[in-house]
Structure formats: structure tokens, C-alpha cells
Amino acid sequence: MPEPVRSRRSIVRAALIAAVITLALSALALYGIGGGDKTAGCAAGPETLKAISAAAVGEVAGIVAPAAPRAVPALAFKDGEGRDVSLEQFRGKVVLLNLWATWCAPCRKEMPALDRLEAAKGGADFAVIPVSLDLGSVDKPRAFLKEIGAERLPLYVDTSGKSLQALKSVGRGTGLPTTLILDKAGCEIAYLPGPAEWASEEAMKLVDAALGK
């Protein structure tokens, strides 16, 4: 084999190996398997995760609680007035983060229930944070929330779709709706790919479990 061809192949092989190592190190750093434990500051303990798993029945049977709290990528979006918002601003509360869009039929169906959940449980310790991934202006999601009579749900938008892509990079956010429950330190303690009846008795008990009640 001519020497230049061999050299080019060696360079390509080395570049591929370097890329794989970089991705592996990123994953290790994210989940605290190397380079420092990124979940060390998580608020929820094993008993909370067990309680969530036990409460995942009936209308919320699809909820999955991880074996340990999971670090979540830094997510940023905007409020209805165009101001920057991040999950960091909700530290100190258990958060139900819901990614949705007006073109998603299951999302539209579950939004009224999320509004009722926020009305029942929202406060100093808990918040429903719905983030619309509709493209363009905020007019569509704003009009939809008004149409369904949502009185308690805030309007947040991510027209770039980067929130969903960030979650996909860590094995979450396979489609819409996507819901994560985060502990008071912003770590994932439950995950649901798909819709649920969030105003059901089972959902209320699951939120109580996430709150440690």
C-alpha cells in the first residue's frame, strides 16, 4: 500500500478514536462516573425514588424513576414576554417539566390536566413548567392556552427546539409530549415519554411522592 494512503487512513482512524473518547468522557462527566460526581448535589434520596416507582400506577403507570437522580443538561427557553428563562431559576422546587406543541394531539389533550395539576399542587414547593416547541411567534401556544381556559399554566417557549435535542442527547425526549420530574436541585427523578392524565388521583399521589409527602 502506498505510504500516503496508509498515512491518510491512520489519520482518519486516529480522529475517529479521538471523537469516541470525547463522547465517552462527556457522558461520564454528565452522569458523574468520572471527572467528579455531577449528581452529588441532587436533592432526592433513594426513598423518594422508591416512592415514585410505587406510585407509578393507573393513569401514570408509564412513569419511570431512575435508580439514582440523573443530571439534566442545561436547558434554556423564553417566557411569553421574550425574557430568557432557565431551569436554574426553579431550584428549590420540585418541577414537572413538560415539552409540548400545539401541533401535537396528545399534548393538546393533556394540557388542561396539567393546568389542574398546577392549580392543585403549584406553590412554594412545586411547579408545572410547560415549554412549547412551536415554531415562530408565541401567538399559537398563547392562543391555545387561552382557548382551553388555562388559568394557572405559565407560557414558556423554545422556538429553536434545542431543549428537546439536548434531552435526546442523554436518552430523553424521544418525541412529544416529554415530561421530566426534577428534584429541588434540578436532577431528574422521573421520566415519561408520552402523555398522562395529570389531574388524576394517581398523578396527585405521584407528585406527593416526588415531594416526599
pLDDT of residue 13: 59
Q: How many domains does the chain have?
A: 2
| For residue 6, pLDDT beyond 60 | no
**Could you tell me if 131 and 205 lie in one domain?**
yes
Going by C-alpha positions, the residue among 3, 151, 141, 173 that lies closest to residue 75 is: 173
**Could you tell me if 29 and 91 lie in one domain?**
no
Q: Using an 8 Å Cβ cutoff, are 132 and 158 in contact?
A: yes
**Could you tell me if 94 and 185 lie in one domain?**
yes
Going by C-alpha positions, the residue among 56, 44, 26 that lies closest to residue 186 is: 44
Instruction: Report the pLDDT averaged over residues 102-115.
Output: 98
**Could you tell me if 77 and 161 lie in one domain?**
yes
**Could you tell me if 76 and 43 lie in one domain?**
yes
Instruction: Report the pLDDT averaged over residues 42-66.
Output: 97
The pairing of beta strand 156-157 with beta strand 76-79: antiparallel
**Could you tell me if 8 and 90 lie in one domain?**
no
pLDDT of residue 25: 37
**Could you tell me if 73 and 9 lie in one domain?**
no
Q: Write out the three cell numbers for 82.
A: 421574550
pLDDT band (50, 70, 90) for residue 118: very high
pLDDT of residue 18: 45
Instruction: Report the pLDDT averaged over residues 131-135.
Output: 97
**Could you tell me if 86 and 16 lie in one domain?**
no
| For residue 23, pLDDT beyond 70 | no
- Give me the domain span that covers residue 34: 1-38
**Could you tell me if 151 and 100 lie in one domain?**
yes
DSSP the chain: --HHHHHHHHHHHHHHHHHHHHHHHHHHHHHTSSSS-TTTT----HHHHHHHHHH--GGGTT-B--SS-B-----EEEETTS-EEEGGGGTTSEEEEEEE-TT-HHHHHHHHHHHHHHHHH-SSSEEEEEEE--SS-SHHHHHHHHHTT-SS---EE-TT-HHHHHHHTTT---SSSEEEEE-TTS-EEEEEES---TTSHHHHHHHHHHTT-
C-alpha 91/C-alpha 78 separation (Å) is: 17
**Could you tell me if 157 and 54 lie in one domain?**
yes
**Could you tell me if 114 and 32 lie in one domain?**
no
pLDDT tens figures, 136-194: 999 999 999 999 999 999 999 999 999 999 999 999 988 999 999 999 999 999 999 99
Tell me the average pLDDT of the chain: 87
Task: Please tell me which residue, 40 or 76, carries the higher pLDDT value.
Answer: 76
Q: What is the CATH number of the domain that holds 104?
A: 3.40.30.10
pLDDT band (50, 70, 90) for residue 7: low
pLDDT of residue 33: 35
**Could you tell me if 19 and 54 lie in one domain?**
no
